[in-house]
Amino acid sequence: MATREIISHEPATGAQVWQGRIGDVEDAVARARRAWPAWAAQPHSNRIELVRRFANEVRRVQESLATLIARETGRPLWETRSEVDDVINRVEIAVRGYAERTSQRRLDSALQGSAALRHKPHGVMAVITPASGPASVPAGHIVPALIAGNTVIFKPSERCPASGELLVQCFHRAGVSATVLQMLTGGAEQGQELVTSDGVDGVLFTGSAHVGIAINRRLAANPGKLVALEMGGNNPIVVWDTPKITDAAVLVVQSAFAGAGQRCTAARRLIVKASMADALLDEVRMLADRLIVGAPFDDPAPFMGPVIDNRTADGLTESFVYLLSNGGRPIKHLVRLDEANPFLSPAIIDVTRMKDRPDVELFGPLLQVVVVDDFEAAIAEANATRFGLCAALVGGGPQEYNRFWAQVRAGVINWNRPTHAHSNGAPLGGVGLSGNHRPAAFYAADSCAYPVASAELDQPRAGIGVGLKDA
Catalytic machinery residues: 230, 264
Q: Are 395 and 416 in contact (CB under 8 A)?
A: yes
Q: In 3D, which of 239, 276, 249, 289 has the Cα closest to residue 394?
A: 239
23: DSSP letter: P
Helix 62-73 vs helix 44-60: crossing angle, to nearest 10: 70
State the CB neighbour count (10 A cutoff) for residue 333: 11
Nearest CA to 84 out of 45, 75, 177 is that of 75
DSSP string, 79-108: HHHHHHHHHHHHHHHHHHHHHHHT--EEEE
Q: Which residues contact 242 (CB under 8 A, 6 or more apart)?
A: 248, 276, 394, 395, 396
Q: Of 264, 308, 238, nearest to 441 (Cα)? A: 264
Please provide the DSSP assignment of 404-416 as one string.
HHHHS--SEEEES
Tell me the C-alpha to C-alpha distance, in Å, between residue 188 and each of 22, 37, 157, 194, 229.
Answer: 11, 29, 9, 10, 16
- Residue 445 is given by DSSP the state G
Q: Measured between alpha carbons, how far apart are the two ends of the chain, in Å?
A: 80
